[in-house]
Amino acid sequence: MRKVEVVYRPFEKVTRVPEGTTLFNAAHWIGLPIESTCGGRGTCGKCKVRVDEGEFEITPADRRHLTDVELEQGWHLACEAELLGDAACFVPELMGVPKAATMGVSRFVLLEPNVNKVHLTLPTPTLEDTRSDIERLRDELDREGYGVVADLRALRHLPVALRRADFDVTAVLCGEHLVAVEPGDTAGVSYGIALDVGTTTVVATLMDLSGGGAAAVASNLNGQAPFGADVISRIGRTRTDETAAAELQRTVVETINGLLADVYARAGVERDHVYEMVVAGNATMLHLLLAVDPHAIAMAPFIPAFREPLDVPAEALGIEIHPEGRVQLLPSIGAYVGADIVAGIQATGLTREPELRLFVDVGTNGEIVLGSSDRVLASAAPAGPAFEGGHIRCGMRAADGAIEGVTLTDGSVELQVIGNAPERGICGSGLIDAVAQLRLIGLLDAKGRLAAPADVPGHPLADRLAEVNGTRAFVLEGDIVLTQKDVRELQSAKAAIATGIDALMDAMGVRASDLHEVLLAGSFGTYINPASARIIGLVPPVPVERIKAVGNAAGEGAKMALVSFREREMAFDLPRRVEYVELSGRPDFNEAFLTAVAFPELEPLP
Amino acid sequence: MRKVEVVYRPFEKVTRVPEGTTLFNAAHWIGLPIESTCGGRGTCGKCKVRVDEGEFEITPADRRHLTDVELEQGWHLACEAELLGDAACFVPELMGVPKAATMGVSRFVLLEPNVNKVHLTLPTPTLEDTRSDIERLRDELDREGYGVVADLRALRHLPVALRRADFDVTAVLCGEHLVAVEPGDTAGVSYGIALDVGTTTVVATLMDLSGGGAAAVASNLNGQAPFGADVISRIGRTRTDETAAAELQRTVVETINGLLADVYARAGVERDHVYEMVVAGNATMLHLLLAVDPHAIAMAPFIPAFREPLDVPAEALGIEIHPEGRVQLLPSIGAYVGADIVAGIQATGLTREPELRLFVDVGTNGEIVLGSSDRVLASAAPAGPAFEGGHIRCGMRAADGAIEGVTLTDGSVELQVIGNAPERGICGSGLIDAVAQLRLIGLLDAKGRLAAPADVPGHPLADRLAEVNGTRAFVLEGDIVLTQKDVRELQSAKAAIATGIDALMDAMGVRASDLHEVLLAGSFGTYINPASARIIGLVPPVPVERIKAVGNAAGEGAKMALVSFREREMAFDLPRRVEYVELSGRPDFNEAFLTAVAFPELEPLP
DSSP characters for A369-403? EEE-SS-EEEEEEE--GGGGTTT-TTB--SSTTEE
Chain A residues closer than 8 Å to B303 by CB = 125, 130-133, 159
The answer, for A462 touching chain B at a CB cutoff of 8 Å, is: no
> Three-state SS for B533?
helix
Q: What is the DSSP string of B366-411?
A: EEEEEE-SS-EEEEEEE--GGGGTTT-TTB--SSTTEEEEEEEETT
Asked if B249 and B291 count as a contact pair (C-beta separation under 8 A), the reply is yes
Asked if B35 and B559 count as a contact pair (C-beta separation under 8 A), the reply is no
Measured between alpha carbons, how far apart are the two ends of chain A, in Å? Answer: 13
The answer, for B511 touching chain A at a CB cutoff of 8 Å, is: no
Chain A residues closer than 8 Å to B299 by CB = none
CA distances from A140 to A92, A120, A135, B325, B523 (A): 39, 7, 8, 33, 41
Amino acid at the residue A557:
G
The CATH number assigned to the domain with range B3-96 reads: 3.10.20.30
Q: What is the mean pLDDT of each run of 10 residues along chain B (606 residues)?
A: 84 82 77 63 80 91 90 92 93 64 76 90 94 96 82 90 97 93 96 96 95 91 90 89 92 98 97 98 97 93 95 96 97 96 95 90 92 93 88 91 92 90 93 96 95 92 93 95 96 96 96 96 84 95 93 94 88 91 82 93 70
Spatial distance between the Cα atoms of B6 and B22, rounded to a whole number of angstroms: 10
Spatial distance between the Cα atoms of A111 and A99, rounded to a whole number of angstroms: 5
Q: How far is A314 from chain B (nearest CA, A)?
A: 12
Chain A residues closer than 8 Å to B293 by CB = 156-160
φ and ψ at residue A164, rounded to 5 degrees: -65, -30
Minimal Cβ distance to A127: which of B134, B290, B582: B582
Spatial distance between the Cα atoms of A4 and A18, rounded to a whole number of angstroms: 6
> Three-state SS for A50?
strand
Query: Which segments within A65-200 are labelled E, that is strand?
Result: 75-77, 87-90, 100-103, 107-110, 115-121, 149-150, 168-174, 177-183, 191-197
Cβ–Cβ gap B296/A133 under 8 Å? yes
On average, the pLDDT of chain A sits at 91
Q: How far is B423 from chain A (nearest CA, A)?
A: 45
Beta partners for residue A403, in sequence order: A417, A426
Instruction: Give ipTM to 2 decimals.
Output: 0.82
Is the model more confident about A537 or about B352? A537
What is residue A110's predicted lDDT score, i.e. its pLDDT? 77
Cβ–Cβ gap B334/A301 under 8 Å? no
Per residue in A100-144, pLDDT tens?
677 777 777 878 889 999 999 999 999 889 999 999 999 999 888
What is residue B97's predicted lDDT score, i.e. its pLDDT? 46
> Three-state SS for B530?
helix
What is residue A24's predicted lDDT score, i.e. its pLDDT? 84
Report the chain B residue with the minimal C-alpha distance to residue A581.
B128
pTM confidence score: 0.81
Cβ–Cβ gap B126/A290 under 8 Å? no
Spatial distance between the Cα atoms of B319 and B515, rounded to a whole number of angstroms: 42
Asked if A459 and A442 count as a contact pair (C-beta separation under 8 A), the reply is yes
Count how many pairs of residues, chain A against chain B, have C-beta atoms within 8 Å. Answer: 140
Spatial distance between the Cα atoms of A331 and A336, rounded to a whole number of angstroms: 12
Spatial distance between the Cα atoms of B509 and B504, rounded to a whole number of angstroms: 8
Spatial distance between the Cα atoms of A335 and B131, rounded to a whole number of angstroms: 10
Q: How far is B236 from chain A (nearest CA, A)?
A: 14
> Three-state SS for A411?
coil
The answer, for B34 touching chain A at a CB cutoff of 8 Å, is: no
Cβ–Cβ gap A132/B304 under 8 Å? yes
Pairs from A505-509 (Cβ < 8 Å, separation ≥ 24): A505/A370, A505/A540, A507/A377, A507/A581, A508/A370, A508/A371, A508/A375, A508/A377
Minimal Cβ distance to B292: which of A155, A308, A584: A155
What is residue B238's predicted lDDT score, i.e. its pLDDT? 86
CA distances from B61 to A265, B47, B75 (A): 80, 11, 12
Asked if B547 and B518 count as a contact pair (C-beta separation under 8 A), the reply is yes
Asked if B387 and B524 count as a contact pair (C-beta separation under 8 A), the reply is yes
Report the chain B residue with the minimal C-alpha distance to residue A586.
B127
Cβ–Cβ gap A130/B310 under 8 Å? no
The answer, for A108 touching chain B at a CB cutoff of 8 Å, is: no
Of B490, B492, B498, B499, the C-alpha closest to B584 is B499
Mutate to test the interface with B, among A126, A284, A303, A327 (most CBs of B within 10 A): A303
Spatial distance between the Cα atoms of B485 and B493, rounded to a whole number of angstroms: 12
Beta partners for residue A120, in sequence order: A169
Q: How far is A335 from chain B (nearest CA, A)?
A: 8
Report the chain B residue with the minimal C-alpha distance to residue A296.
B159
Q: How far is B22 from chain A (nearest CA, A)?
A: 41
- Over residues A572-594, mean pLDDT: 87
The answer, for B253 touching chain A at a CB cutoff of 8 Å, is: no
Q: How far is B115 from chain A (nearest CA, A)?
A: 22
Cβ–Cβ gap B293/A128 under 8 Å? no
Asked if A283 and A330 count as a contact pair (C-beta separation under 8 A), the reply is no
Of A486, A134, A90, A524, the C-alpha closest to A340 is A524
What is residue A33's predicted lDDT score, i.e. its pLDDT? 64
Measured between alpha carbons, how far apart are the two ends of chain B, in Å? Answer: 13
The answer, for B319 touching chain A at a CB cutoff of 8 Å, is: no
Amino acid at the residue A461:
L
Domain B115-183 has CATH 3.40.50.720: no
CA angle B349, B353, B358 (to 5 degrees): 65
- Is A569's pLDDT higher than 90? no
Asked if A428 and A384 count as a contact pair (C-beta separation under 8 A), the reply is no
Q: What is the DSSP string of A441-484?
A: TTSB-TT-PBPPGGGSTT-TTGGGEEEETTEEEEEEETTEEEEH
Beta partners for residue A327, in sequence order: A277, A312
Of B296, B272, B292, the C-alpha closest to B281 is B292
What is residue B484's predicted lDDT score, i.e. its pLDDT? 97
Q: Establish whether domains A115-183 and A349-384+490-596 are of one fold.
A: no
Give the pairing type, strands B402-409 and B412-417: antiparallel
- Over residues A279-297, mean pLDDT: 96
What is residue A97's predicted lDDT score, i.e. its pLDDT? 46
Fold assignment, A349-384+490-596: Nucleotidyltransferase; domain 5 (3.30.420)
Which letter, b or e, does each residue of A457-492 get, where b requires 16 or more Cβ atoms within 10 Å of its Cβ? eebebbebbeebeebbbbbbbeebbbbbbbbbbbbb
Chain A residues closer than 8 Å to B245 by CB = 156
Minimal Cβ distance to B305: which of A159, A582, A584: A159
> Three-state SS for B102?
strand
- Is A1's pLDDT higher than 70? no
Cβ–Cβ gap B585/A127 under 8 Å? yes
Spatial distance between the Cα atoms of B574 and B332, rounded to a whole number of angstroms: 9
Spatial distance between the Cα atoms of B429 and B35, rounded to a whole number of angstroms: 32
Q: How far is A518 from chain B (nearest CA, A)?
A: 28
Cβ–Cβ gap B306/A334 under 8 Å? no
**HEC assignment per residue over B232-245:** HHHHHHHHHCCCHH
Chain A residues closer than 8 Å to B125 by CB = 296, 301, 303
Cβ–Cβ gap B316/A152 under 8 Å? yes
Report the chain A residue with the minimal C-alpha distance to residue B131.
A303
What is residue A207's predicted lDDT score, i.e. its pLDDT? 97
Neighbours of B384 (CB within 10 A): 19
- The contacts of residue B469 (CB under 8 Å, 6+ apart) are none
Amino acid at the residue A175:
G
Mutate to test the interface with A, among B128, B130, B243 (most CBs of A within 10 A): B130
Beta partners for residue A373, in sequence order: none
CA angle A395, A401, A405 (to 5 degrees): 70
Spatial distance between the Cα atoms of A440 and A600, rounded to a whole number of angstroms: 12
**What Rg do the C-alpha atoms of chain B give, in angstroms?**
26
What is residue B401's predicted lDDT score, i.e. its pLDDT? 94
Cβ–Cβ gap B133/A312 under 8 Å? no
Determine the angle formed by the axes of helices A283-290 and B152-164, rounding to 10 degrees: 110
Confidence class for position A30, pLDDT limits 50, 70, 90: low
Confidence class for position A36, pLDDT limits 50, 70, 90: low
What is residue B92's predicted lDDT score, i.e. its pLDDT? 86
Q: Which of residues 334-353 of A touch B (CB under 8 A)?
A: 334-335
What is residue A533's predicted lDDT score, i.e. its pLDDT? 95
- CA B541 remoteness from chain centre: 25
- CA A406 remoteness from chain centre: 25
Chain A residues closer than 8 Å to B335 by CB = 130
**What Rg do the C-alpha atoms of chain A give, in angstroms?**
26
Q: How far is A322 from chain B (nearest CA, A)?
A: 18
Q: Which of residues 142-181 of A touch B (CB under 8 A)?
A: 150, 152, 155-160, 163
Spatial distance between the Cα atoms of A522 and A539, rounded to a whole number of angstroms: 15
What is residue B565's predicted lDDT score, i.e. its pLDDT? 82
For chain A, what are the domain ranges? 3-96, 115-183, 191-339, 349-384+490-596, 386-479
Mutate to test the interface with B, among A122, A132, A586 (most CBs of B within 10 A): A132
- Is A39's pLDDT higher than 60? no
The answer, for B300 touching chain A at a CB cutoff of 8 Å, is: yes
Spatial distance between the Cα atoms of B535 and B606, rounded to a whole number of angstroms: 12
Of B304, B278, B211, the C-alpha closest to B571 is B278
Superfamily of domain A191-339: Domain of unknown function (DUF4445) (3.30.420.480)
Minimal Cβ distance to B130: which of A130, A291, A334: A334
- Is A356's pLDDT higher than 80? yes
DSSP B94: P
The answer, for B580 touching chain A at a CB cutoff of 8 Å, is: yes
Chain A residues closer than 8 Å to B311 by CB = none
The answer, for B326 touching chain A at a CB cutoff of 8 Å, is: no
Spatial distance between the Cα atoms of A347 and A26, rounded to a whole number of angstroms: 15
Chain B residues closer than 8 Å to A587 by CB = none
Q: How far is B367 from chain A (nearest CA, A)?
A: 17
